Amino acid sequence: MQNLFQPPPGTRDFYPDAMALRRHIEDTWRRVSLRHGFVEVDGPTFEYLDLYKVKSGDEIVSQLFHFESRGEDRTQFALRPEFTPTLARMVAAKANALPRPIKWFSIPRCYRAERPQKGRLREFIQWNVDMLGGETPEARRQFDLETAALCIDTLREFGLASSDVKLVWNDRALVEQLFALAGLPPERYPFGFYLLDRLAKLAPEQRRKQYADNAVTAGEQAFFEQLAAGGDPLSEAFWESLGSNGDFAAYRDAISGMQAHIEKTLALMGLPGYATYDPSIVRGLAYYTGFVWEVVDVSGGNRAVAGGGRYDKLIEMFGGPALAATGFGMGDVVLALLLAEKGKLPANAGVSPPDLFVINALEQTDDAVRQLAILRAAGLTALASYKATKNIGKLLEEAGKAHARVALILAPAEAAEGKAKLKNLRTREERTIPLAAVLAETLAELRGAGDIAP
């Protein structure tokens, strides 16, 4: 056999089963977004490369698939690795015309030139939910938690409970307090964020290289090493061993106050027991300015299923007005892995059984074709066999395999009188009806069985 072409590494073919699962995921995302008052938007699949250089951060820029336009100008474009820069660009261009708060969701395909691995592909689908506006700190805090709650609510709709997933949160302002306690000078905070984001993923020699390359002092190293070893910066022992004399109590009180607020608000929303503070969550993307969070698998076996946070400077950076913003992205890849592991994949997702199956034992096909058209025009799902057989028993078997609810049997004896048989495939009851009344009788049959509304 000839060598078959494979899909490029990190991409997927969606055969009918995979497509049905994708539909289930996307339909659920869409349904819950609409229920929470978000409206759907989309943008182009590729953007000017520069759009991502503004503020997404080095990691994303290093993962861009980019290309050049032909001709004189040689413009540089990149496939979108995420939706947030597109959203910021769109909002900045029309900020004053958009009703506030802006509540948008989108389901873009995204592209990252990553090394394909479990939970990470080069092409994936990412649900984005963003809320922009909020005139007071209280309103903004509410928006943070409304978007996070929507994320959890959706996972619950997929069948995942607080024993399966948790929301781990932090705040970049709290991370700055943490750095101050550790004695980092403010100009080193960006490096601190960068390192903290990677700390758990770096092997000891990689950490040592980071320290050497960035002239990290012995005191700072001790702090990062203690964090890397799982030390708890909420314990006094952590700071005592570092010899810090900063205001540890203020840091600890700020966290417990925020944790209490998050817990209370999520409990009011019917989502108790999901939130935990995690000092290692800072998020790799450079545009976050405050509250940051991820939703992770409690058993720790997967990458984050969703991540997001507050990015209050991005709209302004893209030429728009100062506009506070918060939101998150959830990928379909990790979600599908998680649903499979927890036994929450739907059976027959997206496959709805036909309402009616036409069984044609006549020599001609005109009646069958006409009845199919009438039934489909009325919105029913109507199928027929492509087999040549006129054996009613065999054809009924096929209808049964398709899980059809009703069979319309076109046979010579009834056809001679302008009639046909209608068989309910669940009760096996059969009756003779006029051909002219097939639609009305089918609807009555389906209504009687509760398959369609009266």
- Contacts with ligand HAM by CB under 6 A lie at 82, 84, 112, 114, 120-121, 124, 126, 128, 130, 285, 304-308, 327-331, 333-334
Q: Which is nearer to ligand HAM, 330 or 368 (CB)?
A: 330
* Least distance from ligand HAM to the Cβ atom of residue 43, Å: 13
User: And the tokens for 265?
Assistant: 């608000």
As beta bridge partners, residue 406 has 356, 424
Closest residue by Cα to residue 55 from 18, 85, 14, 15: 85
Rounded to 10°, the helix 189-198/172-181 angle is: 100
Q: Which amino acid is at 439?
A: L
* Least distance from ligand HAM to the Cβ atom of residue 335, Å: 7
Helix (H, G, I), strand (E, B) or coil at 131: strand
Closest residue by Cα to residue 351 from 12, 10, 20: 20
Q: Which is nearer to ligand HAM, 192 or 329 (CB)?
A: 329
* Least distance from ligand HAM to the Cβ atom of residue 304, Å: 4
- Indicate the burial class of 153 (C-beta count within 10 angstroms; 0-12, 13-18, 19 or more): middle
* Least distance from ligand HAM to the Cβ atom of residue 333, Å: 4
Closest residue by Cα to residue 406 from 386, 382, 385: 382
Q: Which is nearer to ligand HAM, 130 or 445 (CB)?
A: 130
Q: Could you tell me if 291 and 278 are in contact, meaning their C-beta atoms sit under 8 angstroms apart?
A: no
Q: Which is nearer to ligand HAM, 327 or 354 (CB)?
A: 327
Q: Strand pairing of 46-48 and 356-360?
A: unpaired
Cα–Cα distance for residue pair 224/326, rounded to 1 Å: 28
* Least distance from ligand HAM to the Cβ atom of residue 154, Å: 13
Q: Which is nearer to ligand HAM, 307 or 354 (CB)?
A: 307
Q: Which is nearer to ligand HAM, 109 or 264 (CB)?
A: 109
Please name the residue that has the structure tokens 């009851």.
Answer: 429
Please name the residue that has the structure tokens 């004695």.
Answer: 183
Q: Which is nearer to ligand HAM, 71 or 300 (CB)?
A: 300
User: Which residue lies nearest ligand HAM, judged by its C-beta?
Assistant: 331
* Least distance from ligand HAM to the Cβ atom of residue 108, Å: 10
User: And the tokens for 290?
Assistant: 């405050």
* Least distance from ligand HAM to the Cβ atom of residue 73, Å: 29
* Least distance from ligand HAM to the Cβ atom of residue 215, Å: 29
| Largest separation between any pair of C-alpha atoms in the chain | 99
* Least distance from ligand HAM to the Cβ atom of residue 311, Å: 6
Cα–Cα distance for residue pair 44/83, rounded to 1 Å: 10
Q: Which is nearer to ligand HAM, 338 or 422 (CB)?
A: 338
Q: Could you tell me if 199 and 280 are in contact, meaning their C-beta atoms sit under 8 angstroms apart?
A: yes
Compute the radius of gyration of the chain from its Cα atoms.
29
Q: Which is nearer to ligand HAM, 304 or 383 (CB)?
A: 304
